[in-house]
Structure 1
């Protein structure tokens, strides 16, 4: 298949894989969000300061998210460099944590949003900003797909698409 000018040089199968990756990333992210908000609620109820509670809750969510990313979203990523992967995941997760906590800090202390619901809103805004960074960083640097596997997948999808065209043409000519 040739790439469409509208797809920026990507084949439809590559765009489909990207959409699938974004959807899976979102599912893991949402589960991490639930873990984080439950943890945050518990920590705020104990009287912990909002930004500190957010940091602890985010660390808990990062740990659960790694499992989802490694074993579901990016299971085809190169497994030979696991220590590199974990190191980069932690570095980019900490950068995301700083972005997220920075937003919450500004909203809490800059705008005086100190109630529990305002802390949740600030956390959600911080998560939204940090998620864009994390998605880019994880797919670009952390969970790299083995190039041969991606090429083989493209070839297989092209063969299947050609076979499907043959079948539909054969059905129409009968």
Structure 2
């Protein structure tokens, strides 16, 4: 159980740090923007909410609220799996480390990859000719890890309840 607690704590810290870095980057780029209008404000608030959600998920895990923490953390990672740019609309969100592999179908079929620490990209009416999709491998791995930890905790609770009934 102690090993599982350490893994959960590490995942909670990971989500908090990823969220904090994302918020710092948003504030930095918002301060550097030469134009600031209602559309940019909406996009900024959207990503502030997403990074705050990541921090919230991390705090739930650190406070041992496992059921809610795991469910929301899985949802948070699911939001980070797919990045795309199609018909002038672009969306990318990564809180923490990301490693993406994808396809760029704009002029040829190109295999792409990208990695980094925390990313956000949201565009409307950008380049309608661009067609690109990518999958964040780190988010997929983390979702699998969350499901496995959740299953282990359920199994341990069942074993403890069986011992208590004996």
TM-score (norm 2): 0.29
Query: Of Structure 1 and Structure 2, which has the larger fraction of its residues in helix?
Result: 1
TM-score (norm 1): 0.28
Query: Of Structure 1 and Structure 2, which has the larger fraction of its residues in strand?
Result: 2
